[in-house]
Amino acid sequence: MKLPYLLTILAATSLLSGCFETRKNTDQLCENEPKLNCSSLNINDGQCRVARTDLIWHRNEMLNDPSEANQVKDYHLLKEYRKCLELASQIQPIEQADLKSKRFNALMYSIEEQDRITRELANSTSPETLYFLWSETGSHAAKRRFLAMENTGALDTGSMQYALATHYISRDKLKTYRLLNRSLELSKGGKEVNKEVIKSLASVTQSLDRPRESYLWAMVGKEFEVPIASDSELRLLFGLTEEDYQLLNDQAERVAKLIDNGSYTSDSILER
């Protein structure tokens, strides 16, 4: 047997055993923890196994840590499972006549669980939870309470400054610009860098008629692997001099490094 073929067989065997092991562990978890209510999640269905497994194991973690942040995560995992079930419920089972009914019941359960979570979180005072309720469910009450926190210091985190910016984007471009910059200043960098902030800065500065800064943020985005237009398209869009492009490309590298290591300040960019 050729070595590459043997390696392929071994890799496939390893993946299959890992899959079976995960399934076995999840089945055992469901048997040991009746509070997880796995039967309502149609545990024996081959469809939506990944989304269902992620949900079950997260719910097991929640038995020890039923925090609001974990409830929000539970909602999103339910959302993924629900999307999968909506597709799976359209598949006509061949061997099991009641499988389609079980999928439908699991779908209804996931919807009811999402509703339950939003009801339980309705009286939250956490800005992160309020933003979730506003952005995910359209709660006007949560939006009002979130915006009321603007000048209290409760929103002084990178993620909440970005959340606040999403409210002002169509109302006040200059304020949006300041909030986006503040979001980057409060970011600790690394995996916490929100690429949407950088993309938004490129867009907002273009709206503010700041082509040089808009190009700068586009290049910063490129440093973080944000898809952007080709060099020729960018030159047509911005119409700057070659000297400007070189200067801004160099500065974009420096700004990206500052953002990545969590030491960015709005003074790091060129004079506007």
Which tens digits make up the pLDDT trace of 94-105? Answer: 556 677 788 889
Q: At residue 156, what are phi and psi to the nearest 5 degrees?
A: -85, 60
- 48 and 81 Cβ atoms separated by less than 8 Å: yes
pLDDT in tens, 165-202: 999 999 999 999 999 999 999 999 998 899 999 999 99
Is the model's pLDDT at 45 over the cut of 90? no
- What pLDDT, on a 0 to 100 scale, did the predictor assign at position 92? 62
For residue 139, what are its two tokens?
Answer: 């709660």
pLDDT at 198: 97
Positive or negative, the Cα torsion across 31, 35, 40, 42?
A: negative
What average pLDDT does this structure show over 226-255? Answer: 93
Ranges of each domain in the chain: 26-121, 189-268
Q: Mean pLDDT in the chain?
A: 88
CA distance 255 to 262: 11
Q: Is the pLDDT of residue 4 over 50?
A: no
pLDDT in tens, 141-156: 999 999 999 999 999 9
pLDDT at 222: 95
- The string of pLDDT tens digits covering residues 46-68 is 889 999 999 999 999 999 999 99
